Structure formats: C-alpha cells, structure tokens
Amino acid sequence: MAYKNIYFRQATVVAPLVTFNYVEQWLMKCLQVPNSTSGLTLSDPMYQEWEALSNFLESILSRVLQATERPSITSGLRLLQLCLSYQPSDPLILSTLLTCISALFVFLSMSTGQMAPTAASGAVLLPQVLEKIFATLIYTPEGQSISNRSRAVKNVRRHAASLMVKIGNKYPLLLLPVFDQIRATVENLSRSDGPAHLSSLEKVTLQEALLLISNHFGDYDRQSAFRSAAEFISFIGLNKPPVPSNSEDVCGQNRSNIVFCVNLLLGAIKRCAWPDDPERATRGGFVVSLTESGNPVCRNPAAPHVVPLLPHLLSLIKIFNELFTPEAQSLIHDSYKGCLAMAETEKYNLLGLIGHSVSDSGDTQVVQSSLERMQRFLTGLNESCYHMMGSLGPSLGRDLYNIPDLGLAITNSVLSCLQYIPDYRMRPIIRVFLKPFIYSCPAPYYETVLHPILVHITPIILTKLHTKWQQVIEFRNREAQEDNGDTQEVLEDILTRALTREYLDLLKVALVGGSLTPEANSETMETEEHSMDSPTPPHTRSNMTTEVISDLGLNLLRSEKTCQSIVLAVLGALSWIDSNASLKATYLTGPIVRQLASDNSLNGEMAAHIMAAILNALTLHGQHEANQGSLLTLGAQIYELLRPSFLEVLSIMQQIPGVNPVDLQKLDERISGSTSKGNKVEKVKKDLFKKLTGNLIGRSVGQLFKKEVKIHDLPRIAIPKKPEQEEVIGDIRNIFS
C-alpha cells in the first residue's frame, strides 16, 4: 500500500485533474452505499474499500497544492459536504470517513478567498466540520459506556481528538476566528460531570490542539493563562463573597485545578532527571554535547514538555506580584481582605513559637474560615511556583538557559512590582529561586541571562534593605525608651535580618561561588538574641586570604550597573545591627576589595569609606568573639592593601579616639618594610591593628559590669579516706541454691 501511495502522489503532481476525478468518482460511489449496521471487522470488504479510498484520497490531496492545475474548489467543497452528511453506524467506517474529511480540509483553506455565504462555502462548512469532529469525539454506541468501550470505539474517538491536533497544526489561521467557540466546546466536553465522559488522553489531546491554534495569535497576553491580576482575581473568586459550604463553588474548583496543574508540573521538574553515571547517561542518549572544559552536557527528558509551559508559569508569578499593587487590592472582596498577609504559622516560626498552640481551643478541631482557606491557597501556590522556578535550573540545565531572552522574561515577570512585595514574599524569590538559579547557570550564559537579572534586582534590594534597617533602628530606639515592643515591629525586625542574611548568601554564590546548603548555624533561630550571641564560627585566615572572585563575580564587579549596588550592600551589612549578617559581609568584603584594587577601580574616597565601614563594624559587633577575630583580620588586610596607595585610609585611622600615633607608625613600618609573608609577621600586624582599634571594640552587655572575683587563702578541705573493704568471694556452687 505504501508504494502505491507514492505512485499516486507522483501522478497527482503530473496530472492532478485525472487523479482527482478518479478518486472523486470513487468517493461518491461509496457515499451512495449506506452503512446501517455495526460490528464490521478489519477483513470486511466494505471496510477494506473505505480504508483504501481514504488512503488514496489523502495521498492525492496532499500534493494538490504543488500541482500547476488544481481541482475545482467547488468540487472539493461539494465532496466535503457529502462526507459531512454521511452517517455511518460502524466505528471503523466512521474512522475512515474522518480521514477523508481531514484530506478534504485543504479545500477549506483554498476557499479563504471565496467566503461568500453560499450553501457550500468554506465559511458555512467550517462549523459543520468541527461539529462532525466533536460528534465523533463523543461517539458512544448503544450499550457501551466509559467502562466497556470497544477498541474500535476508543480508536475512533482518539482519531477525532487527533484530527483536531492535525488541522490545528496545518491550518491554524483558518481556525483562529473560531478559537473561542472551539475552546468553549472543549471546556464543556471536558467537564467531569458532562455526558461526553472523555478519557484523560482525549482531554490532553484537545488541550494540545488549543495550544497549537493559540500559538498563532502572536499575542503573549492572549496566549497566557491570565492576562491580568483582575482576571485572576475573578477566576479564583477573590472579588466575590465566600460561597456557602452547601453550594457549588465554581471558583473553588478553579483553585483546585490550578493547584493540581502547578504541583504536577513541579513534580515532573523535581523528579525527572538524567542518570548520575556518565556512562549510563551516554548509553541512554542523554548526552547531547560537551562543555568548553570537556564535561558532558545532558538533556532532561522533561525539558520538551516543561519549556513550552514556562511562559504560562511566568505569567502566573507576575500576577502574584501584581496582587500586591493598590489597583489589585481594591478589587478584593471585603471578606478576603488580609488573605495576602503572612500566615500565622509563619509568624509563629519566626517568633520561635514552634510547637506552641495557636489558640486556646484545646482538643477541639478548628474549622478554617473562608479567609484562612484562601490565604492557605495563595501562600501554598506562591511557594510552589518559586520552588518550581528554583528547580528549573538544576533540573533542565542548558535547555533552560538557552531560551532566548530568558533574563528579560524573568525580569518582567518574577521580578516585577518588587516595590510592592513585602519581605515575607521577597525571601522565597531570593532563597528559593534566585540562589539555585544563579548557582546552576553555565558560564556561557552569565552575560545574557544572569547579568540583566542582577542589574534589575541589586539596586532595588539595596534601597529596600537601607530603608528597612533605618526602620529597625527607629523601632529599637523607641522600644528602649518605652520598654514596650509591638509584635508586628518585632516581626519586621526579624524579617529584615533574615532577608539580609539570605541576600548576602545570594551575593556569595554570585561573587565567589558557594554551596546551596545553608550554613550549620545560620538558620538555627531567627530571633535577634540568638543571632547576636551565637554568630557563625569564623573562617580561618587562610580561607579569607585565598578566596577569590569567580568569573560571574568579575562580570558583576566590572559592570557599572551592578558594582556600586553590590559593594554598598556588603559594606552596609558590616555595620547593620545583626552580627550574623555582619559576619557574612566580612567574608565577602576581603575578596571584593582585593579585586577592585587589582582592577584600579578604587579612589581615595572609596578607600576611606571601606576602612570606615570596617571600623564601624568593630564598634558595633566587636563584642562577639567570632566577629571581632574576623573583623580584625579583615581590617589588617585591607589597611595593608590600601594604605600604600591612599592616604585617606591613614586619615580614617587617625580619627580613632585615643589612637597612639607611635603604634600607627609601627604598623605603617611593618607594612612598608616586611618582605616576607610569614605567620609571625602577619600576627604582629594583626596585634598592632587590634591595639590601635582597642578603644572602638565594644563589650558585651554581660561583660560591662562584670566584677572580677578574687579569693585569697581558701582553707583546705580535708577529705577523709574511705575504709578499705575486703573482697569477699563466695562459693560459686551455692549461688543458685
């Protein structure tokens, strides 16, 4: 049969009218024979004739547009009209009839210039074709249901769904004007309580057809799931009063569907992966190329299915951000005001009240209100979306970063409306999404993907953190005077600390590299008391000295659009009133300043600002042993690095209260005269620097009023010796008697 189809195709190119007239007469002959019985088999002569006819018709019409002489459009549309009017009873004949309709669809495309409302025009036949396809899609013979459908019935229904995909792929422009009607029909047929009883495969196939058609709108907003926050608010019912529990909640079903789709996609991204063993990956076809250093580049089997859905995911996250704008807030119904606030469980976690009862209800089961259910839905969906975005980089690799304009798309969606985003929603963006996304990005994509993202976000976070820390300082001063602290202000204090630390962790990954796993002590407790008394153990001096800026860090520090905002954030964190954040910033300051000095990017004013920031950090955090040791090491290194080139650094040191000029002169001599870098020489410099800054280093509150206890000539306590006991060995034979 296959070689005969080839002959028919070639003959059509040579003599299209002859082959078309032949198959036209054959089709009209078969259409005159009614099919009123079902139960035909594959060997039945009637089916075999229809099968041969459909194959030849498809072969001939697949080449009709390549021929110089084309059959009459009127003749083709007349055949299509006859096929639509034919009502076979057997599913095998119905399936071959769909093949004929599919082949004749080319005449609808050819008739686009002849859209006069005549009886056989394309404009009239197109709805009839779709109606025929959808009628076949729900074809169910008498006595059959979804549980006992025959193979022939299943095949013809799947054929109808696949035909929608085929014409959606080949003739999308013809279907665009009726897209809304097609989508409405698909939604109606896909209802779980509808009479169609579509299988999961049929539903998915129809959705695929809708996507193929919508791709040709050429309108991102039109193709997105939701075009605005207002539509999303209406879709999930945020602008309506809560629905009583005994009523049908359409918006509740919409929310459930969104959660199902997002979690399904999240599961596919997190769980689908290539083999860890390079040999197995190569044998399995996962390796597609090699990196610049010769390492294999693997492809994730989920990538072809996930990447096309990425625009819809970005659109959903963008809408989440827009929910915090004043315009969107005004649309939310009064019953749901506060649904975007921080969840109570999250508040208790931040306040260190994990395990404490939220209410005094005892053992009584708590029934969630409509507001709490909506809040839980929005919080969970938001977190799932960011977990999905954070998993994309590690899971998909270059299949993700190779997407054109990815950085711009993320900037315009995930990072949009950041001025309205509260701190508890900023944290997942930084910790859950950006940190693994930056960590997993291959070097060739630094400039095209990461650079636009960091250019956008670094100045915004710098401004946000400076403002937040000013508010924290004002709150602390007010609390000290009134001896009273509001719970919300305490939460803001803790959130500011957490956001600062997580942003510094992000900068560490971007500037010097690092691990995605949090440090052991950095997340033990969010409260200020713990963080102030137990900062992370300090790095060794060798680690602080040998740490260098990565390739991505060089890109950021040598860019005028990112350097200033990054450096100011790190220097600011040195003296913000959080010892843990200050310690994290200490580890970053050394590599940053060394690189800037190597690039000759510093001037006297900048050098003085750096030195002043370190001395200020010693004043605020020198009371903690870990901070003091790291800051003294950093201060000695930076002074040694900057002093020969910038006299302004010396001027800053001279402003230390009670500084000894002789000791300062000795330090300068050590710097200028030492040629070796031995540990003894380095220790002398650090000790001199500690001596110079001794008046700046604060003392812990617990040490301020400490009185040393001195006890002289304590009387000796005589301890009497224990009397020796004789060892008694009994008769073993009598033990069990």
- Helix (DSSP H) and strand (DSSP E) numbers for the chain: 36, 2
Confidence category of residue 586, pLDDT binned at 50, 70, 90: very high
Question: Do 496 and 537 fall into the same domain?
Answer: yes
Q: What is the pLDDT of residues 47-86, one digit of tens each?
A: 999 999 998 888 888 877 776 788 888 888 999 999 999 9
Distances (CA, A) of 258 to 228, 381, 414: 16, 8, 18
Is residue 283 in a domain?
Answer: no
Ranked by mean pLDDT, the top range of 218-232, 242-256, 530-544 is: 242-256
Q: What does 59-71 look like in DSSP terms, one character per residue?
A: HHHTTGGGSSS--
Q: What does the pLDDT average to over 433-439?
A: 92
Share above pLDDT 90 across residues of the chain, in percent, rounded to a whole number: 24
467 lies in which domain range?
A: 441-704
Shared domain check, 482 and 403: no
Q: Give domain status of residue 718, yes or no.
A: no
DSSP letter, residue 307: G
> What's the pLDDT at 363?
44
Residue 487 has pLDDT above 70, yes or no: yes
Q: Within a domain: residue 435?
A: yes
Asked if 333 and 434 sit in the same domain, the reply is yes
- 73: CATH: 1.25.40
Give the per-residue pLDDT at 554: 93
The domain boundary, picked from 440, 456, 472, lies at 440
The pLDDT assigned to 519 comes to 44
CA distance 269 to 84: 44
Q: Does residue 725 sit within a domain? A: no
pLDDT per residue as tens digits for the range 681-737: 477 888 888 888 888 776 554 454 455 555 566 566 667 776 665 555 555 455 454
pLDDT category at 531 given cuts 50, 70, 90 is very low
Average of per-residue pLDDT across 402-407: 88
Q: How many domains does the chain have?
A: 3
The most distant pair of C-alpha atoms in the chain lies apart, rounded to whole Å, by: 128
Q: Same domain for 181 and 169?
A: yes
- The answer to whether position 78 is within a domain reads yes
213 vs 463, higher pLDDT: 463
Q: Crossing angle of helices 579-598/604-621, nearest 10°?
A: 160
CB-based contacts of 444-449 (< 8 A; 24+ apart in sequence): 444/292, 445/398, 445/401, 445/402, 446/551, 446/552, 446/555, 447/555, 448/406, 448/407, 449/401, 449/406, 449/407
Which among 726, 737, 660 has a CA at the least distance from the CA of 695?
660
Q: 515 or 529, which is more confident? A: 515
E strand segments, 385-475: none
- 529 and 425 co-located in one domain: no
HEC profile for 139-192? CCCCCCCCCCCCHHHHHHHHHHHHHHHHHHHHCHHHHHHHHHHHHHHHHHHCCC
Which domain-ending residue is among 440, 458, 481? Answer: 440
pLDDT above 50 for 395: yes
Q: What sign results for the dihedral spanned by CA atoms 311, 317, 323, 324?
A: negative
Region 470-497 average pLDDT: 77
Q: Are residues 70 and 142 located together in one domain of the fold?
A: yes
Q: How wide is the angle at C-alpha 29 spanned by C-alphas 25 and 35, nearest 5°?
A: 150
Q: Is residue 719 part of a domain?
A: no
Residues 430 and 477 in one domain: no
**349 and 458 housed in the same domain:** no
The mean per-residue pLDDT over the stretch 280-294 comes to 75
Q: Which residue has the higher pLDDT, 716 or 335?
A: 335
User: Which amino acid would we find at residue 360?
Assistant: D
Residue at 146 is within a domain: yes
Q: Which of 667, 544, 693, 675 is nearest to 615 (CA)?
A: 693
- Please give the structure tokens belonging to residue 462: 């710098």
Residues 308 and 193 in one domain: no
Looking at the domain assignment, is residue 388 inside a domain?
A: yes
179-234: pLDDT as tens digits: 888 888 888 888 777 777 888 778 878 877 887 787 766 554 554 445 678 888 88
Domain-ending residue, one of 418, 440, 462 = 440
Confidence of residue 2 (pLDDT cuts 50, 70, 90): very low
Q: Clarify whether residues 25 and 72 are in a common domain.
A: yes
Q: Which residues of 24-52 are buried (b: 16+ CB within 10 A; e: fewer)?
A: beebeebbeeebeebebeeeeebbebbbe
Q: What is the pLDDT of residue 521?
A: 37
| Sole residue written with tokens 């076949």 | 136
The alpha carbon dihedral of 546, 547, 552, 557 has a sign of negative
113: number of Cβ within 10 Å: 7
Q: How many CB atoms lie within 10 A of CB 399?
A: 19
Q: Are residues 446 and 374 in the same domain?
A: no
Q: Is the pLDDT of residue 403 over 80?
A: yes
Question: Taking Cα atoms as reference points, which of 259, 169, 178 lies closest to residue 205?
Answer: 169
Of 158-167, 279-288, 367-376, 627-636, the range with the lowest mean pLDDT is: 279-288
Model confidence at 23: pLDDT above 70: yes
Do the beta carbons of residue 25 and residue 78 sit within 8 Å?
no
Of the listed ranges 427-436, 639-648, 685-694, the one predicted with least confidence: 685-694
Do residues 617 and 498 both lie within one domain?
yes
